[in-house]
Amino acid sequence: MTSQFFYFNQPQTLSLNFRPEQKKIFLKGFWIVSGLSCYFITTSQANFLSIISALIIAIAALYPSYLWCRNRAKGLPLFPVLAINFLFTHSFPLINNHKQIAKYTPSQHFIASLIVASFLIVATFCWLSYVEKTPPKNGYSKEFSKTQVFPFFISSLILRIIYEVGIISGFLWLILPGPLISVVRALTGSIVVLAIVTISYLLGGKLLTKNQAFLFLSLMIILLFVTGVGLYLNSFGLYIFLGCVGWMLGSKKIPWRLLLISFLILSFLNMGKGATRAYYWHRSNSTIQTSEYIQVYKRWIDNSLQQIRKTEDVIQYEDKRKDNNNLIERSSLIHMLLKVQTATGTEKPYLEGKTYSIIPQLLVPRFLNKDKIRGGSGNHMLTVYYGLQSYKATFRTSIGWGLLQEAYANFGWVGCLGLGLFLGNLYGWLTRWSMNSSTLSFRFLVALLFLMLAFKGEFTMGSFVSVAFQSLIILFGIRMFFMKTVIVTSQC
């Protein structure tokens, strides 16, 4: 009975290949997103040259998705996901009256758009050279057995829930030293991402039994509930998005309803987030015990409803007193590119690789080097160099920069083109390498890792490589102890 619970149905359908007729569904979604993006940009009140600049970035960001949806690119859409992020971080903010962007001239906006577009074009053609054709199905692969994958990932979800409860209540800080908590955070955080996507894939492909589906959905609800108590909506939203990605890969359909409902819930909670944080974070005891969870959400909902009930005059008055906090402005990174583009080579000399030179130090575990530099040192170096913060201030808050901004700060436009070569080849090779693999395979988990890194737009190269390195160590451990070698054939 137990073995039947761990086993799932129809293992022959675990291939990640998308059929052309399935991609036609995604093509319709692509045209909807493209049309809405074009309407949003062209109807804005921004300067005409800024609108043209936003359109240039949008076209370059959307083109890889078009190639994938038209089936001109095979495999998982790893690079299209990375590229489309530039729509939200670099295109939309240009026409959104962002106060940090408005201080630059439209001609500077245009130059920035050419930098972004040239980077994306170079990366796109490098990626496309790997994925135009599917490689032959032969060789060997490391995969979970069909009785191991479900209990392993379900256990990972349970451990992450325990970790969240322990951190929010402060209990973990009482029983574990700080460095060990960092290890637990990285370990459970990396595996839970894989767990959500993998089991959601099985759910979307109708490969789980009713009991397995019920257990997974119950644990997901508990994880979301507990994570939300920490008052960080980014983790809450990430878990929902990961579930949608997995379900989409398994069902070959886009979960429009779930995405819409999730967006509305997150938007509602975001309205009352500030007041709720102010209450709980400024208490003498900022920890939250399990007995307070219901009260946290009750207070949070009340704060959001109060924001909705405010009259238009009150909202307009408060908007003049505080910074704009909308999602587009919060996601913007192009103002950092504008800062680097206008200051480097004139006010500041190029860094010539200084933020890249620290990467080897980041790969050494902290237990081997007690004086190891911080993981975000690349971001902090840029922040201090361009005068946005003092070094002491970086211990309290961190400013996001991005791989493209870092490349320009070090080597100018040539550095951005070099970054395009690197990421295009990296994501192209990973996509081709993971073709013909199943969701039970080591290759899929590695591809999934880099899919998640594609969303980390604020990372510098040091953070990107460090997180990838640490996660790969965990994946190699899983590969060694939990996977077996199988022969990849045309039936896989």
Q: What is the three-state SS of 215-278?
A: HHHHHHHHHHHHHHHCCCHHHHHHHHHHHHHHHHHHHCCCCHHHHHHHHHHHHHHHHHHHHHHH
Q: What SS3 class is residue 176?
A: coil
Phi and psi torsions of 348, nearest 5°: -125, 140
DSSP lists the bridge partners of residue 320 as: none
Phi and psi torsions of 475, nearest 5°: -65, -40
Predicted TM-score (pTM) of the model is 0.81
Angle in degrees, CA 31, 34, 40, rounded to 5: 140
328 pLDDT higher than 70: no
The span from the CA of 441 to the CA of 329, in Å, is 38
- Of 303, 275, 297, 280, nearest to 169 by C-alpha is 280
Cα 36 to Cα 91, 108, 148, distances in angstroms: 13, 26, 43
Q: What is the pLDDT of residue 83?
A: 95
326 pLDDT higher than 70: no
- Of 270, 271, 296, 294, nearest to 283 by C-alpha is 296
Residue positions counted in the chain: 492
Q: Is the dihedral of CA 439, 444, 448, 454 positive or negative?
A: negative
CB 101 within 8 A of CB 332: yes
Residue range 113-130: average pLDDT? 96
The span from the CA of 37 to the CA of 483, in Å, is 43
The span from the CA of 190 to the CA of 112, in Å, is 34
Q: What SS3 class is residue 53?
A: helix
Give me 143's structure tokens. Answer: 């995969």
- Of 128, 124, 60, nearest to 90 by C-alpha is 60
Q: What SS3 class is residue 208?
A: coil
DSSP 270-330: HHHHHHHHHHHHTSSS----GGGHHHHHHHHHHHHHHHHHS-HHHHHHHHHHS----HHHH
Q: What is the pLDDT of residue 143?
A: 82
User: Is residue 396 very low, low, confident or very high in pLDDT (cuts 50, 70, 90)?
Assistant: confident
DSSP lists the bridge partners of residue 142 as: 485
The span from the CA of 458 to the CA of 364, in Å, is 22
- Cβ burial of 322 (10 Å; 0-12, 13-18, 19+) is exposed
The span from the CA of 44 to the CA of 188, in Å, is 43
Cβ atoms within 10 Å of 489's Cβ, excluding its own: 10
- The domains of the chain are located at 146-327
User: Is residue 10 very low, low, confident or very high in pLDDT (cuts 50, 70, 90)?
Assistant: very low
DSSP lists the bridge partners of residue 344 as: 348
Q: What SS3 class is residue 396?
A: coil
Give me 343's structure tokens. Answer: 């200051």
- DSSP designation for 17: P
The span from the CA of 408 to the CA of 417, in Å, is 9
The span from the CA of 288 to the CA of 296, in Å, is 9
- With tokens 């349970």, the residue in question is 158
Query: Which pLDDT tens digit goes with each residue over 421-457?
Result: 999 999 999 999 988 887 778 888 898 889 888 888 8
CB 107 within 8 A of CB 406: no
Give me 164's structure tokens. Answer: 């969240």
Query: Which pLDDT tens digit goes with each residue over 250-307?
Result: 787 778 888 888 888 888 888 888 888 888 877 777 788 888 889 989 998 998 888 8
- For residue 257, give the amino acid letter: R
Query: Which pLDDT tens digit goes with each residue over 25-65?
Result: 788 889 999 999 999 999 988 899 999 999 999 999 999 99
Residue range 177-195: average pLDDT? 76
DSSP lists the bridge partners of residue 438 as: 15
The span from the CA of 27 to the CA of 6, in Å, is 36
Low-confidence winner among 9-13, 176-180, 403-407 (lowest mean pLDDT)? 9-13
11 pLDDT higher than 60: no
Helix (H) or strand (E) holding 209, with range, is none
Give me 4's structure tokens. Answer: 């039947």
Q: What is the pLDDT of residue 179?
A: 63
Query: Which pLDDT tens digit goes with each residue over 399-428?
Result: 889 999 999 999 999 999 999 999 999 999
Q: What SS3 class is residue 15?
A: strand
CB 226 within 8 A of CB 239: no
User: Is residue 162 very low, low, confident or very high in pLDDT (cuts 50, 70, 90)?
Assistant: very high
